[in-house]
Structure 1
Amino acid sequence: MLIKILFLCFVGFLAAIIDAIAGGGGIITIPAYLLCGVPPHIALGTNKLCASCSAVTSSYGFIKSGKANFKLLKMLIPFSLVGAIFGVNTVLGLDPKYLNVIVLVLLFIVGIYTLFSKDIGMENKFKGLNKKNIFLGIIISFSLGFYDGFFGPGTGAFLIFGLTAVFKFDFVRSSANSKILNCTSNLTSLLLFAFNSKINYSIAIPVAICMIIGARFGTKLALNKGSKLIKPIFVTMSLLVAIKMLYQVVA
């Protein structure tokens, strides 16, 4: 048991670094839980506790940096929260595999489009809020809040891409705002998983501590290195999540 926990702590640390920079940490942690024999619903709940600790740490670092847009976030956070509630209540009764094909296709599109769009996310071209981009932001927040509660892998990548495309943020500002939205859906999902007794605390607590350390390190890297670091990691994680899902569909 000790070896399994040490393995999961190491995996969690690496996942938190990557997740703080570009999202996609769930592609690393959830398979690790399953590999160690944690049942699927318990793996999702345990991962939510650890991911929430990581997300809170990253969010705090981005907030301190001044990269978060709170005028926007106060309008989007409630929809992310409500979406997560619906998502968790849905996943507790359904098999998430039905989302695999849709998410697979979308992640490939996001990754390839970002890879070949040289300018996307490299400069902050945000020109203010209007009815159109707020409406699109609400749709993104609710949909990805639901998806995060229901399934999860790729949520950070979708949020970063969505905020970059709709609001014309650079990758650093998109990462900052997406991490806070992701933190909202994570915490909401966590409460519901905890209420339904779907968390293994003996695993979650040590892994969460390691993920907090990883998140601090990853956030500093993202803020110091900027969009030049985030973009290639973002593309890589988007395509890796898609490849993993493709393997699940084929297998």
Structure 2
Amino acid sequence: MDLDPLVLAALGATAFCAGFIDSVVGGGGLLQIPALFSALPRELPATLFGTNKIASIVGTANAAWRYTRHVKMPWRTTLPAASAALVCSYLGAMAVTYLPRELLRPLILLLLIGAAIYTFRRKEFGATHQPRHSGQREILLALLLGGSIGFYDGFFGPGTGSFLIFLFVRVFGFDFLHASAAAKVVNVATNLAATAYFVPHGYYLLLVGSLMAVANVGGSFVGTRLALKNGSAFVRTIFLFVVSALIVKFAWDTVRHGLAA
């Protein structure tokens, strides 16, 4: 496949920005997926989704690694959540062929609006790290969180990182920085499950995926460095920005599909 160097450069720049956003609060797919569909309209959707995951998993893994080096990780919560997310993300991908995904749009829009209003109104939300669960309750809640969000990511996907961060703060009492760090580990698991499906079936473009992966890592390096340097207040600001963008996108998609019906 011959690709215009300008197209590759544009995809690389988009992947860099996506890696930056993903490393802080998630939501990089808002940039990467539309860019891939616009640049490569003749490719199968599954191929573009697989290529996106190759880029995303490398950048997310880099962000997770950098967070674990500088943040005291809440592993008792993070590892059960990641394990459940790994399994349920694959199940979610399998369920795509049986359930209509479009039914989720209005529900996800309402959940995003609720998360944004809650965060805007509570200025202290996620400002301090005060874990509120321990023992079996902590593990059970982590499994439920990881399983439900993992299934959602495999089945639908947009906003996964933002939902993870919000729930880690709301349910477990993390601050935004620790929530972002934990979310990255869980995101690696969900991306790994999706990649395990797409790659063996040949749904990926190696050249494009490799280029975007390198650019995505560059963006994640900058994003994690800024998040670690500026702390929870910075992550909270980016979180609200990305959630607002997701609300606009889901509102537009819901209206557009309603008019087309």
Q: TM-score, normalised by structure 1?
A: 0.95
Larger Rg: 2
Q: Which runs of 5+ in 2 are unaligned?
A: 257-261
**Residue of structure 1 aligned with 2:211, choices 206, 219, 222:** 206
Count of aligned pairs between the two proteins: 251
**Percent identity over the alignment?**
30
- Return the alpha-carbon distance in structure 2 between the equivalents of residues 57 and 82 of structure 1: 22
Is this contact kept in 1: 2:73–2:181, CA < 8 A? yes
CA distance in 1, matches of 2:132, 2:95: 37
| 1:41 is the counterpart of 2:49 | no
Verify: 1:12 aligned to 2:11, yes or no. Answer: no
Q: CA deviation at 1:66?
A: 3.0
Structure 1 position 132, deviation (Å): 3.5
The alpha-carbon deviation at position 92 of structure 1 amounts to: 5.1
Q: How many Å apart are 1:202 and its aligned residue?
A: 2.2
The aligned counterpart of 2:124 is 119
1:178 CA drift (Å): 0.8
**Mapped partners of 2:45, 2:72: distance in 1:** 36
What is aligned with 2:163? 158
State the partner residue of 2:115. Answer: 110
Matched, 1:177 2:182: yes
Is the alpha carbon distance of 1:219 and 1:92 closer, same or farther for their aligned partners in structure 2, counting shifts above 3 Å?
farther
Q: Give the partner amino acid of 1:76.
A: A
Q: State whether residues 67 and 176 of structure 1, in contact with CA within 8 Å, keep that contact through their aligned partners in structure 2.
A: no
Cα displacement (A) at 1:94: 5.3
SS at match of 1:238: helix
Q: Which amino acid aligns with 2:26?
A: G
CA distance in 1, matches of 2:210, 2:62: 15
Matched position secondary structure for 1:226: helix
- Quick one: distance in 2 between partners of 1:5 and 1:112? 38
Structure 1 partner of 2:81 = 76
Give the corresponding residue for 2:96: 91
Deviations 1:122-160 (A, max 9, x none): 111114514434322211100111111122110000000
Task: Give the unaligned 5+ runs of structure 1.
Answer: none
User: Is the 2:8–2:208 contact (alpha carbons within 8 Å) kept by the matching residues of 1?
Assistant: yes
